[in-house]
Structures are given as structure tokens and as C-alpha cells.
Structure 1
Amino acid sequence: MAKNLDVSQPELFSQVFKYSPIGIALLSMQGKWLKVNASLCRITGYTESDFLDMTIQDILQMDDIDKTWDIRDQILDGKMDNFQMEKRFIHKNGYTVWVLLAINCMKDESGQPLYFITQIKDITERKLAEEDLKAKTEQLESFIENNADAILIFNNEGFVQRVNEAFVHIFGWSKEEVIGVELHLLPFIPPECSEEFKHSREQVQTGRSVNGVETKRLHKNGNLVNVLLTASPILDGKGKQIGWSVIFRDITEWKIAQEHLQNSEKLSVAGQLAAGIAHEIRNPITSIKGFIQLMKSGFGEKPIYFDIMTSEIERIELILSELLILAKPQSIKFERKDIRVLLSQVMTLLDSQAILNNVEFLAEFKPGATHLYCDENQLKQVFINFIKNSIESMRDGGKITLEVSSENDQEMMIRLADQGCGIPKETLSKLGQPFYTTKENGTGLGFMVSKKIIENHAGKIKVESEVNKGTLIEITLPFSN
């Protein structure tokens, strides 16, 4: 049977002192080190002999020394028996070691103080983590409070926890009027944005983000404010959602600037278009006027005049019909069509012109979806325009390649490549400008009309060209729009 442990044995305390993972030391009333254990030497880097030649103030940070002596005096005056506080020791290598210092005063039988027993625990890692957290918290606080965008923080229940000064500035509502208010009761959400608001709320409540949604919010004075909304979940250290943040960027000035820019661009385009129309129509009208005057004077053969006048009037009609496509919304009848059939019909229509110009059609329909919703006649007009341009650009003949592919289930790519004369870079940049053309009898509106049709189908056009090598036109169309 094991013997009862005699805790009064001095040897037991000697073993605890020696092997304790916490630094332990005996200090005189004057703060001189009397005895230290190995753990304290490990924490501070000093040897036992180093300690015996020093006092506690030799390893304390300067501004901690006076506070330590104050504590010692209070203990000696009987105002406290022990004390625990955080201190900064200077490691032998010069850096700071944070310690939790516990001091107890040992007294003799008559109550006279003999020495201090100190327990010293290294808390440097914890203090550094606290300081790092404090620094990050201060950075976050500064970011939120000094941000030019309005920021709101919500808890998981949807109540506003805090707002920044920018929110007050942008929307006019004070912090007191919104902090603690539940999400759906916030006063700055206009009725017409209820569906958008509901959708955004559902997203962030299920842990998803909302990025850059353009919407409106109410100022306290009743005016609508154009904003860009971004909302994100807030997670704790374990990845658990504890709320979410919402950021509103005031884009009112930007919207006004955009409207001014668009109006300016519209006026500029209208001016260019008007000048172009006047120039293009004036020429045939001048010719018609001249022939009418000749007819009045009885000079020349009238049948020839009629033919020329008819030709000039037809040119005016062509210009006006193309302008109408650009000027007013066209009635688009979307139907599900096979692009292979549509392109085959266009190639058949232009086949005789191609043969006369020694041009060969090559069609490549890659595996994948081939049907899309479109206005068949309008798309035919686009491909007729582009293919005719390609034929006319190949004076010595060549090949026109039509390729259809669909790499995903969202859009189709149609590529038209020719071996024509190509388009110079300076001309390529002007492509689509009204009445700009390199053709002798062209109006310069064909590309504009084609681009407009593709945009009405929610598609995109890309043109690449190199002089004497040919031109590549890429048309991207969605399968549904």
C-alpha cells in the first residue's frame, strides 16, 4: 500500500520549484533576485548567475518600474497580501517578453515580511495576438467610419448593429434612427425596389454575396438616391455566419454625368447623321433638278433623262430605307430557326454572284446546338450584307469560309472569313460611321444596319482585317434572348 504523501517535506517544494513550467523566483524586499528556476531562465534568456547579480528593475521595461515598486509598497504596508499584473521583461537578447507576474509576500511567525515569491508566466504570444487583433480592429473601424461609401452592419436576425458617417451624409437619416431597426422596417427603401430588396436579402441570408447592383434608396427629404449596392456575409473565426454588411455607393453624380455624355453623343451623332443625309441626298436631288430644267428648255432626249432621274430617286429611297432601320424600332418576330438552313439559303441566293466573281463558298458546321431564336429575315439581311462585301473585296476570286460553332449552351459563334483585299487599320476604326464607305456607290449604312440588327438580337460583332490577306467577322448570338 502506497504511503501517504507528506506535503510538508521541503524536498517536495524543491522539486516543484525546479521543474515547474512557470517561472518561479524568490525576491528580497529590495527586489534583488535570490533564487530562480530553469523556466524563468528559459523565458528571459538569463542564466541563474545573471539573475543573482541583478534586481527586478534590471529586466523591467522603464515605465513599468515605478508601478512595480508602488505595488511592493502596498504589500509591505499590509494593504494587500498578493498581487497579479501584466509586465514587460527585457529579454537578454533585447526584445520584450510579456509576462503575467503574481507576487506573494512570505512572512515570519511575527508577521514580518521575509521575501517575495513570484510566479512568472510567459504571455508574449497571447499579447502579440491581442495587439494584432486590436490593430486589425482599429483598421476595420477606421475603414468603416472613414469610408466614403455608406456601410450598414446587420446581425443574423436582420437588425442594424451599426452605420457609418457616410450613411448619414448620403441618406440624411441619423444613426439613432436606423440602429436597432429591423431590416424590412428601414425607412430608406422605396416601394418600387421591394422585389430587388427581397431578392438581395434572401441571397445574403443564405450566405451568398450581392455584387454591384444598381438600385435606388430614399433620402430623408424624399428624394431618390442612385446607388450601387454590395452585400456580403460576415463570418466568425470558425466560418459561421454572424451577420452581413451592406455597402451603398452614391452614383448620383456619375448617373448625371452619364446622361449628359449620352445626350452629347446623341447630339453629335445626330449632327453627323444630318450632315451626311444632307450631303448624300443633295447630290441626287441636284441631278434631278438639273434634268428637270433641261426638260423645260426642251434640250436633249427625255427618255434618257427619265431613266437617270429614276435611278437617282431609287438611290434616295435606298438611303431612307436604311436610315429607317436605324431610326425606329423594327418589329422583330423571333422564331426558332436552324442557322445551317438560314446560311445555306443565303449562299444559294448569292451563288450566281459568287460564280461570276470566281468565289467559292466553304461551310463548316461544327457539332453542337444549331437552332436559335431569331428574326430570320433580318439575320438574312445581315449575312447578305457581309457576304456581298466579301465577294466584292475579292477581285481575283478566292474562298469565303462560313463556320458555325457553339462551345457552350449559352451562345453561338458564326465566323465569316474571306481572302479579299482587307481593310486598313485607319479605315477599320471608322467602320460603322454613317456614310463612310470605300465603295463608289455605297451609302456607308450597311454595317450600321447589320450591327443594329445583331444588337437587337442581344448579340455582338467583332471585325478583324489585314490588308491583302482578308477580313474575319465574328458574330456571337445567344440561344435565347
Structure 2
Amino acid sequence: MPKSKVYQETMLEKETIRILYVDEDQEEQTLIASILKTAKKNKYVVESAKSIEEALEKLKDTYTVFLVGYKPGKEEQLNLIKEIKALKKYAPLIMLSGINSDNIDEQALSLGVTDYLVKGQFDGSTLERKLQFAIRDARLMESLEKTGRKFQSIFERAADPFILMDEKSKVMEVNPMFVSKFGFNPHDAKPGQEYHFHNMLLEAGAKNKLIQNLDTMLESFDLEASMITTEGNTINTLVSIVKQEEKQYQVLIKDLSSIKAREEEELNQKKFTSTGRMARILAHEVKNPLTTIVLSADQMRLELPKEVMLESGDLIEVILRNCDRINHLVSQLLDSTRFIELNIKKHSLATLLEEALAQVIDRIDLQGIKVLKHFQPEMTDLNLDGEKIKIALINLIVNAIEAMEVNKGELVLKTFQRGNQFRIEICDNGSGIPKENLERIFEPFFTNKTKGSGLGLTNTQNIIFSHGGSIRAKSEVGKGTCFLINLSGPESEV
């Protein structure tokens, strides 16, 4: 390849560096421009400004590097540096002075000057090297700050509680989710007060393991621990701890109860869909032959001689009555597993709970049940079918009433909102549900009651699912049951 072509390609690859040089000394400006013309690594375009006013006007343009000449006693030059850094925070800025002074050096660096050179004591290669380092450092600082903002955003928006702590488990920083879930914020501590993670929330076994692992300076480890939320609920958590720096650890808290709840909700959705599909198949396969049986029984009643009818007793009536019962059960099953049409309007969850409670207040008073309400104030209204939701709430409240002993019952109703997520809790201190039955309570026709179709909870589940929500139950035999309903509002309401 000809030398001229190689030279042209090399020139094309060079980066063009625009420099604004501010200095009253015109000869110095000419000298710097001529020195940089000989530069080998980049192409430098030097523009000059003789006064502060001229420089401020030129700041509207785009420059890669700033050079500022400085004379002792010229405070306006230091003010210019402040102006440049205010407009272009990461701009590489090199100060040139005719004297070497530690005082000027420190003052310049405190203003954000990248480097400091004494006029007449550097050559072209030195100046170019200083420019390259200044540009590299400025770009690195800008990149680091952008990365820092990115990770700060991730930290603050993390869906799981997240904290930073030191080697003694002193909490230094927490994300909003941690504050929301556990109510602790190190920035709210009183003078002299410190929050230590091992003393705040952890049970004894997990606390001892945490301290032991920190003492042995493990790089990373996990803990399983029960923790108490601001709502007073105990949740099972997986605490993952990773050493970030010499004396700093990242702590991520995963709510295992929440993960299990999501899995349970997904399973309930699948079971509901599967049941609905089976119900449609059953209705098709049963109702057609059932109609034939009914028509045949009616025909027999018309055609059989009276003496035969007297001998058979009421067998035909038994056939018809049971056909009608089967038909009714199949229809109920279909209705309880088919997504329903909704009459959507804005409703307050607290108001709907109050209205549902009013429907069964006589039974509550008769049973001597104490009602406790914990409704979060100023919750956003939701788009719901109010009448359908009330039916679901009444079903759950009646179940709770029937599970509690007379004059010993305590019914707890809760509502709260986090962002666009809404929760209703209906809890009792009744007999509880055995674990083997808890997984089946939403199945059609499953019931432990002597009376009832066993479709109440199936209908309730259908109403909640039709609203795009979820419902699940927590129970402990001898202590009571809680039904948890989750509903979502539109994203605009967050």
C-alpha cells in the first residue's frame, strides 16, 4: 500500500479535539496552538478567548477541553473556572500559570481543575499527554456517575427489601421497599442511635449465624429467618448477604412466603381453569342423556297402564326428581366456574366491606362476635362490580362466623394499598382448616358442612378471578383462618 494512502487513513482515524483557550496573553495562545499542530495522536483545533466575557459567550458552543491562563490576583479567572464547571460538570479543564505555587495548585484543584501546568515548563508531548489523561479521566468520571445513578435507581426501585451494612451489621442504607415492609430507616435514627440488622428483625438462630459469618469474613452466605413486617405479619425469608467492599455488605431479603403465595395463586388459577373445562365437558356429556331420560320418564308416565303405575309406586317421580337435581348441580357447577359478566363502577373497598358486614350483622350479634376493622385511610377507589364483590365478601364473612365459637369469636377485617396493589383480609379465630383440606377448599362441592352445596368458595373464587385478582387462604387448626384477596388497580393510579 502506498505511504500516502496509509498516512491518509491514519489521519482519518484521529479524533478531533476542540479546545477553548482563555488567556490575555496572545503570544501564549499562538504558542499553544503551534505546539499542538505537531501532535501525533489526535487532531487539535484551538480556539482562543482573550477576555472572560468572550469566553462566557463561547461556552454556548461545544468543546472537548478547556485551557485557562491564570495570573495571581485575577479572581475573575477563578470565577470563569466555576462557570465552566457549573455548565459542563465533567469538562476536562487544565490551568496554565506563569508561576509555580502550591497555593494556586490547591485552589485550582478544589474548583475541579483536572491539572495544572507552569508556562514554559512543558513541551508538545507533555501537553498532549496531559490533554489525553484529562479527557480520559473526565469520561471515566462521567461514566462512573451514570453507572452510580443507574445502580442507585435499581437499588431504590428493587421489588425486594435491600440494605447495605458494615462488618458489625450496622445498617448504613436501605431501599424504599425495606422501609415499607419493615419500617426501619437509618436516616431516622436519633443522634447516637444505631440500627444493627442482627438486633432489628432476626430470630436468635439466624442472628448468631449472621454474627459468626461476619466474624469469619465470609464473602457470601444465605440465612433463612422469620421476620415481622410493619403489618405485624411473620414472613419466612431468605436473606442473601454478599461482601461488596472491605467493610460493606449487600443484604437482599427474599420473601419466601410471598413466593409461596404467588405459586399457590398460580396453582389455584390453573385448577380453576381445569375445573371449568371439565364442567363444560360434563355438562355436554350429562345434560344430553339426562334430557333423554326425562323425556322417556314423561312418556312412560303417559303410556303405562294404571295398574302398572300403581305397582311401581313413585319410581318415575324419583327418576324425574333426581334428574332435576343432577341438572341443577351441573348448572351450578357451570355457573361457578364460568367467568362472569361484570357491571364495573368505581367503589371503595372499605365501603363494600361495611355493606357486606351490614348484611350479616344479625348473625354476628347473635354469635357474640367481636369485629375489628383495620382500614387503610385514603385508599384509591377501584373499578369493580360492587354487587358481585359484596357476594364474595359475604360468603367469606359467613364462613368465618360459622367457624367461631359463640361469644368467643373475633372477626378481623383489613384493607391496605401499596402502589396499584390492593389487599383485603378477612380473618377469624375459629377452628381452622386441616392442611389436607386447605388445598381443596375452592374445589366445587367440597365441604365439611352438613348443609350447603359446597359451591360458596368456588363462586367467591370465580368473582375474584373475573376481576383479575387472586384469593388464597392461610389457616392453622385451633387458631383460625385468613382469606387474602389481592386486586390490582390501573397503572395510572400508582
| Band the TM-score falls in, shorter-chain normalisation | 0.3 to 0.5
Length-normalised TM-score, structure 1? 0.36
Length-normalised TM-score, structure 2? 0.35
Higher relative helix content: 2
Whichever of the two has the greater Rg, that structure is 1
